[in-house]
Amino acid sequence: MMSLFSHPHFRLHHALGGSAVIFFIVLLYATSLYEIFSVGSEYSWEDFKQDDYLHQVIAFSFGQAFLSAVLSLFIGLLFGRAFFYQRFPGKAFIQRLFSLTFVLPSLLVIFGLLGIYGTAGWFSRFIHWLGIDWNPTIYGLTGILIAHLFFNIPLAARMTQQGLQAIPSEQHRLAAQLNIRGWQFFRLIELPYLKSQLLPALVLIFMLCFTSFAIVLALGGGPQNSTLEVAIYQAIFFEFDLPKAALFALIQFVCCFVLFALSQFFAKTPETLVTQQTIWFTPPSSAVKIFHIFILIFVCLFIFMPLIHIVVEGLTASEWLSVWQDPQLWKALVYSLSMAPTSGVFAIVFSFFLLLLSRQLQWLHFPMLATLIQTGGMMILAIPTLILTVGLFLFLQNTDLTPLHLFGMVVLCNALSAMPFVMRILNIPMTHTLQYYEKLCLSLGIKGWQRFKLIEYPLLKAPLKYAFALATTLSLGDFTAIALFGRPDFTSLPHLLYQQIGQYRSQEAAVTALILLSLCIGLFLLIERNKVKDD
């Protein structure tokens, strides 16, 4: 370690900035986890073994996550193959729209799904129009699976396309010469390339569904369909049983830590680095083409109809003007538009200082330390935002919090939850900047603010905008932190939308949902614009 500090090219201000971020994050999570461990320890092992409700919650958490992951991967695989092998107008546009699902708030999608699959939704009315006496319900496991499929089919489809894109054209030509088709083609040609994508996709989707909060809270339909995160929320707000909430949070932390370790183990780099713009392949047969078209239409309708419902309901709401006169809406709008960009800025600053330290250690030939710092930043994924929020809630339960305090805590929680994504975006561009210009900066004595202004910022401008827009969009739609700290004098658009949906104020919810969707689409367009520049 002494050789590191005595190195002539070691920059103390980079080390101080990155170390301060590490110290702050470790202190924050250690405080939160300590509170959870302290309160949760009031439950003994015997209490755990005798708590049938806890066993049911754990079983349902794993069960719904497994079903969601398997169905998402299966349908995503079918759609990804159909999308890859079929050429049609608007293909690139649909690909971009599917990317929108990643940044859409869960409660916004839930409102759209209720309008399609709810008791009085489009699907129910269509069934009754056909003369079928059946009243479908979206609440319970069915609704949870539908919502998870909405978010995760596009992810599975994209990873499927990445695997298919890696297959060289020569293998397609060889398969055509040997007349390898159908199942044999999938088994011999496609599956070896897809395996590097499908298993990590399954683990990732499972983890996302296991930590799902807003979806299960809104569509679960009761305690019998609760996951660990929802049980934590219910134990705090409905039972005010803090030891029970802490125990659930502790179990959730252990499960997520194990799942994160599995996701890191399976997230291996594909063996091939082939990236071809155009791949030659044999056109599918007529029967396969018909099946592909059916899959494309079915999935596109499934994804786009809830969004269309939001737009239609929002524009045709009878109480449009009166909703805009509601002071609660303006309060939620102001808080959302203040918290989201502030969270984005903090996520950028934290990630930038961590990566400055990491890349400097890499340059000075301390790769283990550099990797440890980056892994530490990504470890935030192993501790869901709800765990951090519950720990802070327990720590501050006897403190009289003002809206300004709540603002700071929600901003901080949202910034930390967006950090892993920001680090992934900035890591490679910042590393390249160091590799290309480090020696030049050392020879000319350019450092500090001058280096950032003259060298770093012009090269990192596009990825920084992309990362900021993504972090802001994710923070704009986050419901986890505000669910615990929200109150009448401190709210946000997702928090307000949840209250309106729960109180069956459909007209007001339609306007709120349309506003939230418009903001997300605007930020999404900024993301795509800067992503193209970055590419």
Mean pLDDT (whole number) for 102-131? 86
In a domain, 114, yes or no: yes
Question: What residues make up the domain containing 96?
Answer: 54-231+286-312
- For 359, counting Cβ atoms within 10 Å of its Cβ (0-12 exposed, 13-18 middle, 19+ buried), the class is buried
Please provide residue 487's backbone torsions phi and psi, each rounded to the nearest 5 degrees.
-155, 175
Nearest-angstrom CA–CA distance, 478 and 489: 18
Whole-number pLDDT of residue 37: 80
Q: For the chain, what's the residue count? A: 535
CATH of the domain at 119: 1.10.3720.10
Q: Is residue 386 within 8 Å of 479, Cβ to Cβ?
A: no
- For 363, counting Cβ atoms within 10 Å of its Cβ (0-12 exposed, 13-18 middle, 19+ buried), the class is middle
Nearest-angstrom CA–CA distance, 322 and 511: 10
DSSP 221-269: -SGGG--HHHHHHHHHHTS--HHHHHHHHHHHHHHHHHHHHHHHHH-PP
Q: Is residue 235 within 8 Å of 244, Cβ to Cβ?
A: yes
Q: Is residue 358 within 8 Å of 434, Cβ to Cβ?
A: no
Tell how far CA 444 is from the center of its chain: 42
Please provide residue 384's backbone torsions phi and psi, each rounded to the nearest 5 degrees.
-55, 155
Interval 4-34: pLDDT, tens: 444 444 555 556 777 888 889 889 888 888 8
List, in sequence order, every residue forming a beta bridge with 490; answer none if it has no partner.
487
Whole-number pLDDT of residue 47: 65
Whole-number pLDDT of residue 154: 92
Mean pLDDT (whole number) for 408-416? 92
pLDDT surpassing 80 at residue 529: no
pLDDT surpassing 70 at residue 472: yes
In a domain, 253, yes or no: no
Whole-number pLDDT of residue 38: 81
The dihedral sign for the CA sequence 452, 457, 463, 468: positive
Which two structure tokens, joined as six digits, stand for 2?
């002494």
In a domain, 268, yes or no: no
Which two structure tokens, joined as six digits, stand for 93?
């546009």
Interior angle at CA 483, CA 261 and CA 65, nearest 5? 40
In a domain, 2, yes or no: no
Q: Provide the 3-class DSSP secondary structure of residue 166.
A: coil
Whole-number pLDDT of residue 425: 85
- The more confident residue out of 518 and 448 is 518
Whole-number pLDDT of residue 196: 78
Residue 73's CB is within 10 A of a number of other CB atoms, namely 25
Q: What is the chain's alpha carbon radius of gyration, rounded to the nearest angstrom?
A: 25
- Which conformational region is residue 326 in: left (phi greater than 0), alpha (psi within -120 to 50 degrees), or beta? beta
pLDDT surpassing 80 at residue 114: yes
pLDDT class of 270 with cuts at 50, 70, 90: very low
Whole-number pLDDT of residue 504: 79
Q: Provide the 3-class DSSP secondary structure of residue 429.
A: helix
Q: Is residue 23 within 8 Å of 414, Cβ to Cβ?
A: no
Q: Is residue 195 within 8 Å of 167, Cβ to Cβ?
A: no
Which two structure tokens, joined as six digits, stand for 350?
């934290």
Range with the lowest mean pLDDT among 237-241, 275-279, 314-318, 389-393? 275-279
Whole-number pLDDT of residue 269: 43
In a domain, 247, yes or no: no
Query: Could you identify the residue written with the tokens 């419902």?
Result: 309
Whole-number pLDDT of residue 454: 74
In a domain, 359, yes or no: no
Whole-number pLDDT of residue 11: 58
pLDDT more than 90, % of the chain: 20
Q: Provide the 3-class DSSP secondary structure of residue 89.
A: coil
Residue 308's CB is within 10 A of a number of other CB atoms, namely 14
pLDDT more than 70, % of the chain: 88
Which two structure tokens, joined as six digits, stand for 290?
């018909």
Please count the CA atoms within 13 angstroms of the CA of 448 that sit on its side-chain side: 4
Range with the lowest mean pLDDT among 60-74, 289-303, 490-504, 521-535? 521-535
Q: What's the mean per-residue pLDDT of the chain?
A: 82
The dihedral sign for the CA sequence 529, 530, 531, 535: positive
Whole-number pLDDT of residue 337: 92
pLDDT surpassing 90 at residue 335: yes
Q: Is residue 376 within 8 Å of 350, Cβ to Cβ?
A: no
Total domains, the chain: 1
Q: Is residue 250 within 8 Å of 194, Cβ to Cβ?
A: no
Whole-number pLDDT of residue 2: 45
Interval 495-509: pLDDT, tens: 999 988 888 788 888
Q: Is residue 473 within 8 Å of 339, Cβ to Cβ?
A: no
Whole-number pLDDT of residue 146: 94
pLDDT surpassing 50 at residue 453: yes
Interior angle at CA 224, CA 218 and CA 226, nearest 5? 45
Whole-number pLDDT of residue 211: 85
pLDDT class of 362 with cuts at 50, 70, 90: confident
Whole-number pLDDT of residue 63: 93
Whole-number pLDDT of residue 359: 78
In a domain, 292, yes or no: yes
Please provide residue 490's backbone torsions phi and psi, each rounded to the nearest 5 degrees.
-150, 105
pLDDT surpassing 70 at residue 280: no
Nearest-angstrom CA–CA distance, 58 and 47: 15
| CA-CA-CA-CA dihedral for 214, 233, 473, 500, to nearest 10 | 60
In a domain, 78, yes or no: yes
Nearest-angstrom CA–CA distance, 443 and 385: 44
Interval 188-228: pLDDT, tens: 877 888 887 888 888 889 988 988 888 998 888 777 888 88
Q: Give the Å distances, CA to CA, from 162 to 80, 82, 449.
A: 9, 13, 39
